[in-house]
Structure 1
Amino acid sequence: MSTLKASFEILKTQIENIGTFHIQLSDLLKEEVKKIETFRERQKEQRKKLQSIMEKVQKKKVAVYKRTIESKKTYEVRCREADEAEHGAEKITVASKNSEKGRQRAKQCRQAAKETEKLYSTNIVQLESVRRDWEETHKSTCEVFQQLEGDRISMLRCALWDHCNHFSMQCVKDDEFYEEVRKLLELCDITTDNNYFIGRKSTGTRPPEPILFESYYQTQKSGDSNGQAHFAGGGEEDMTMRGSDPLLGSSVNIRFDNLENPHSAPAPFGGASAVESDGGYAELPGLLGAASLPTVSADDDTCYIVDHEYVAKEEDELSVSRGELIRVLEQGEDGWWTAEKNGKTGLVPGNYLGKR
């Protein structure tokens, strides 16, 4: 409560503010991630197109290369056959019947070798053309890939840079919010909080008085008064009864002077003899002075006599002496009565008073 409670309240408020800013930062980061995903998908489509072109060129190059290799092998075979046929024709004698056939066969083999040579040469030219096309395509594709990679690195670097800026700004905001909490915590004071708690929760300025012995017979004897317990002096013991009410800010003190046996009359006050009145209370001639009698009338219903002396302990209380006549203006349910004496008004314990 008090300053510490205010510190908790400002901390709660600032944490809520920080949470709000974190949510906003989260939304901002989500937007950045969507941009990165869009950029990635666009580059992916571009790479697919380039890869498709490269695959077509590569397949064409491989096909022409295979055809060229086959034509080369055929060309080499035909050349060997032609050489063998010509070498065999030279060995045949002029008179031999097979000389003409040998020359004819050598001629055919040489013709086949020339045809395969021409095909092989054509395939070589075609392969070179395809190779150049493949090389140019490959070169341009690599350049595009390099550009795409540069764009990707640049884009991600800028995105990460922005993320770091956002995080730094969030940290600055968080520190500003926490600084507000620290400023209020500097005003938090232990003494102030303790005094505030005492002011709100205190039930009085003094601890409750202990409850002491209350004579059963004295309570019966004085039970016909105002409903509170009254006590008459007797014997040689000096006892005090104190009662405390949690609703009161202070304690009620009831003193018994010289408690005697329940059938004896009150001891004389100031050396004068006490005579029991019609109401069951002892007359105290020594205390019924002329100063107190003119203020109230004995026949008044609000007129009470003080059975026990009470000394005021608070500013709103009234000091009374035993035997005085006072006027009761209000009877409180908490045991404290508002009384008037000699023009002064204050609170007195109701069980200190009795009817005449």
Structure 2
Amino acid sequence: MKETLFKDNFWCTDLMSTAGYDSIIQHMNDGRKNCKEFEDFLKERAGIEEKYGKELIGLSRKKPCGQTELNTLKRALDVFKQQVDGVGQSHIQLAQTLREEAKKMEDFREKQKLHRKKIELLMDAIHKNRNLQYKKTLEAKRMYEQRCRDKDEAEQAVHRNANHVTPKQQEKLFVKLAQTKTALEDSDRGYQQGISALVKIQEEWQHEHTNACEFFEKQECERINYFRNALWLHVNQLSQQCVQSDEKYEEIRKSLEMCSVDKDIEFFVNFRKTGSMPPAPVVYENYYNSQRNSTPIRNLAQGPGFGRRPPIPVPANEPGDPEYSTVDGYSLIQHPMP
């Protein structure tokens, strides 16, 4: 397949036209503008990433999140906050990386602009010189054609008045004819010189135009390739950010796998237990019984140091002795039957 090149497709049949060159320059300016837009995009994205990262760090460090939890769940929450802090740090690092990439894009764009400026100045000078010489050549052609008409008119006057004028008048006609021929020769030389100069300038312009097309095409290839790679790199950086974030979230998942409900319950019980015996049940107490039982029977014979009479001893029975028994505090003697 035939290769499509700038130098083969941006010419015009009109020598004074710069439409092809202007089309290339417009496209190069649009490409530079597109690079600037992507550069600004990276800068704004960097600002968003930095703000998000700082807010994540502030959230993980300042906002309470299960601070009274115990044992394995507490450790899982600590890991959670540490990894969220790490995600925030990675977003701040991504912001710095994006700013560096934006700076590289800016340097590339300015470098291309500087190199293009030299070619543009050269082409502007050639266009100006070509246009000036073209106008001079057109003027020389106009003068040449006018001198041709003057000579033709002088010749016609000589032939037309050959037999109708005096010798002196005829001499004047021949003098005028000679003058017109001389002027014609001068204008003809000037016209030919102008054409030669224009051809030389045109050849130089076409050569430089070809060089400029090749240079601009090379720059455009570099720009497209650089832009494509920059965008590819940007997407890779975002993917890497997602991978790093997922790695940190995986640490949180691992810490949650180590969280044990039974261990946390056991830890809490052992750490905060208050006793294993429940309180005794509350029983019914009759008011009057409690009043009657509240006045104990004292043994007046005993001193004040004794608060209650000791229980009455039950005597031991010997053979033939009567049997003793007590009923409601009273002693009874049972005698044996005869």
Structure 1 length normalisation: TM-score? 0.59
User: How much does 1:9 deviate?
Assistant: 0.6
Mapped partners of 2:312, 2:191: distance in 1? 155
What is the identity, as a one-letter code, of the residue corresponding to 1:11?
A: F
Structure-2 residue corresponding to 1:132: 203
Contact 1:4 1:185 in 2 (8 A): yes
Maintained 8 Å contact 1:274/1:283? yes
Aligned counterpart in structure 2 of residue 45 of structure 1, from 114, 118, 125: 114
Aligned to 2:225: 154
Deviation at 1:175, TM superposition (A): 1.3
The whole-number CA distance in structure 1 between the counterparts of 2:205 and 2:96 is 47
Q: For structure 1, list consecutive stretches of 5 or more residues without a partner in the other structure.
A: 213-236, 240-255, 267-272, 289-356
Report the CA distance between 1:159 and its aligned residue.
2.8
Task: Give CA-to-partner distance per residue, 1:14-37, whole Å, 9 cap, x none.
Answer: 122223333333333333332332
In structure 2, the partner of 1:238 is 285
Distance 1:185 1:261 in 2: 66
User: How many angstroms does 1:8 deviate by?
Assistant: 1.3
Task: Supply the distance in 2 between the matched residues of 1:132 and 1:281 (Cα, whole angstroms).
Answer: 144
Q: Alpha carbon RMSD of aligned pairs, Å?
A: 3.2
Of Structure 1 and Structure 2, the greater helix share is in 2
CA displacement, residues 293-351 of structure 1 (integer Å, 9 cap, x when unaligned):
xxxxxxxxxxxxxxxxxxxxxxxxxxxxxxxxxxxxxxxxxxxxxxxxxxxxxxxxxxx
Shift, 1:86, TM fit: 1.5
* Counterpart check, 1:259 vs 2:290: yes
Higher relative contact order (CA 8 A, sep 6+): 2
Aligned to 1:292: none
SS at match of 1:15: helix
Q: Which residue of 1 aligns with 2:311?
A: 286
CA distances 1:98-135 after superposition (whole Å, capped 9, x unpaired): 32222322222222122111111110011000000011
Would the aligned equivalents of 1:75 and 1:116 in 2 still touch at CA under 8 Å?
yes
Moved over 6 A (4+): 206-212
Distance 1:278 1:94, change over 3 A: farther
Distance 1:261 1:24 in 2: 87
Matched, 1:64 2:133: yes
| Structure 2 Cα separation of the partners of residues 126 and 200 of structure 1 | 105
Of 272, 275, 295, the match for 2:299: 275
1:14–1:100 Cα change, 3 Å = same
With over 3 angstroms needed to count, the CA separation of the structure-2 counterparts of 1:209 and 1:126, relative to structure 1, is farther
Task: Check 1:131–1:261 CA distance in 2 against 1; reply closer, same or farther (3 A cut).
Answer: same
Question: Structure 1 residue 47: deviation in Å?
Answer: 0.5
Pick the aligned partner of 1:99 from 170, 176, 180.
Answer: 170
1:265·1:274 contact (CA, 8 Å) conserved in 2? no
CA distance in 2, matches of 1:70, 1:161: 57
- 1:9 aligned onto 2:61: no
Cα distance in structure 2, aligned partners of 1:286 and 1:238: 26
**Which of the residues 145, 152, 159 maps onto 1:90?**
159
**Greater fraction of residues in strand:** 1
Change (3 A) 1:281 1:50: farther
Query: Which one-letter code corresponds to 1:37 in the other structure?
Result: E
Given the superposition, is the C-alpha separation of residues 179 and 279 from structure 1 closer, same or farther in structure 2, using an over 3 Å criterion?
Answer: farther
Q: 2:257 aligns with which of 183, 186, 191?
A: 186
TM-superposed deviation, 1:69 = 0.6
Q: Distance in 2 between matches of 1:207 and 1:116?
A: 132
Q: Mapping of 1:293-304 within 5 angstroms? A: none
Relative to structure 1, is the Cα distance of residues 118 and 280 closer, same or farther in structure 2, using a 3 angstrom cutoff? same
Deviation at 1:194, TM superposition (A): 4.7
Q: Kindly name which structure, 1 or 2, has the bigger radius of gyration based on alpha carbons.
A: 1
TM-score of the superposed pair, with normalisation by structure 2? 0.62
Once residues 258 and 155 of structure 1 are traced to their aligned partners in structure 2, the CA distance between those partners, rounded to angstroms, is 104
Any conservation in 2 of the 1:57–1:134 contact (CA below 8 Å)? yes
Read off the aligned partner of 1:258 and give its amino acid letter: N
The residue number in structure 2 matching 1:112 is 183
